[in-house]
Amino acid sequence: MKPSRGLYLHIPFCSIKCFYCDFTAFSGQKKIVSRYLKALDQEASFFPNFNPDTLYIGGGTPSELSAEELRVLFKMIRSRFPKADFKEATFEANPESLNIEKIKILKDSGVNRISLGLQTLDDRLLKSIGRRHSSSDFLSVFSSLRETGNFSISVDLMFGLPEQKLEDHLRSLKQVLDLFPEHLSLYGLQVEDWTLFSKRKISVDESLAREMFEGSIEILKTAGFVHYEVSNFALSGFESLHNRIYWRNGEYLGLGCGSASYLNGMRTMNEDRLVSYCAQIESGKRAIASSEKLEGIERLGEMAFLGLRMLEGYVPPPESRQVFAPQWDSLISRGLIERRGEAFRLTQEGVFLANQVFMEFVSPFNQISNSEALG
């Protein structure tokens, strides 16, 4: 069977940049939306033979586009990828900018999966992290999605927020589950450089955050959700097909400002400045800011940490077992991974300390030389 390939379109516009956000996203830039959509169309024209199986429109906040702008976007997708029959088409949205008219356009355009950025149902906490919507906005939009289209709905929640108590987070989680979403993504707050939270010197109570995560896992398990990736939970059959392409080191094409592609073993990253991206595309060339072809130990390492994100486990090729033997043995002895037949998988402790596990497979490597990896 031919491996699936993904298409990602980045819509970098937001009404406000959340206090924790370090993504390629810009507020107050609506005047450039039309120019940006034309640049997306031109960039897509550079790949006439790319035939994707999944579509993911992310951001930023794609739902910030107007109804007419959404029509333009989907017309471009149909025109540039006429052979695409998407098994899954995901659209990211925030509650304050998604309405009935836009929902109908998404339905008519073949979108079958909506990812809603909620973060918490506590209105006090929503304001404290820079979100523009209220809990009632979310509930209204969720209801409209159920009434208007046959969408699979994924909800994003965050834990470890400033002044968030354990009961605050678990209450939000239970209220969301009462709505019966098909998928849930659960992220712990990370204070990244250059964010407003970083400037405010916000810190995360790691002990409390872990308690929130542990409590969430138990609640989700009881509700029938499968914990299939470190941060993702789904009812059976509703796992994200598009994101599985990333975790399984499959090929994907990313279009737009700051987007990444992985094609023919080459990873490229687009220019992340809005005007510069548009200008380069308009000049008839790709807006590539960086590119690399992972080989040898670096490629084996990336395959390992991506594969380990999937809780079903990862079967490493023989060369990975050989060159990373010290890492595999160390992680097993520390109780962070376990072996099940030919597969290595995170233990429960490994899930909580996943970043420590993944760093074992990221350069610089301990006790391994690149010549060893290359034989």
DSSP string, 2-60: PPPEEEEEEE-EESS--TT--SS-EES-GGGHHHHHHHHHHHHTT-TT---SEEEEEES
Q: Which long-range contacts (CB under 8 A, 24 or more apart) does 313-317 make?
A: 313/340, 313/343, 313/344, 313/345, 314/343, 314/344, 314/345, 315/342, 315/343, 315/344, 316/344
Q: Is 193 helix (H, G, I), strand (E, B) or coil?
A: coil
Would you list the DSSP string of 107-145? HHTT--EEEEEEE-S-HHHHHHTT----HHHHHHHHHHH
Phi, psi of 292 (to 5 degrees): -155, 150
User: For residues 186, 188, 193 and 196, what is the CA-based torsion angle, rounded to 10 degrees?
Assistant: 90
**E strands along the chain, which residues?**
5-11, 13-14, 26-27, 54-59, 88-93, 113-119, 152-159, 183-188, 226-229, 232-234, 251-255, 260-263, 266-270, 288-293, 337-340, 343-346
Q: Residue 201: its pLDDT value, please? A: 94
The neighbour count for residue 181, using CB atoms within 10 Å, is 23
Domain ranges of the chain: 5-245, 296-374
Phi, psi of 289 (to 5 degrees): -95, -30
92 and 59 in contact (C-beta within 8 Å)?
yes
Q: Residue 243: its pLDDT value, please? A: 97
| Backbone conformation region of residue 84, classed left if phi is above 0, alpha if psi is from -120 to 50, else beta | beta
Q: The whole model's pTM is what?
A: 0.94
Amino acid at 196: L
User: What residues contact 256, with CB distance under 8 A and at least 6 apart?
Assistant: 8, 9, 10, 11, 12, 36, 40, 43, 270, 277
Superfamily name with CATH number, domain 5-245? Aldolase class I (3.20.20.70)
Residue-wise pLDDT for 300-320, tens only, equals 999 999 999 999 999 999 999
Low-confidence residues of the chain, pLDDT below 70?
1, 365-375
Amino acid at 119: Q
Q: Residue 22: its pLDDT value, please? A: 86
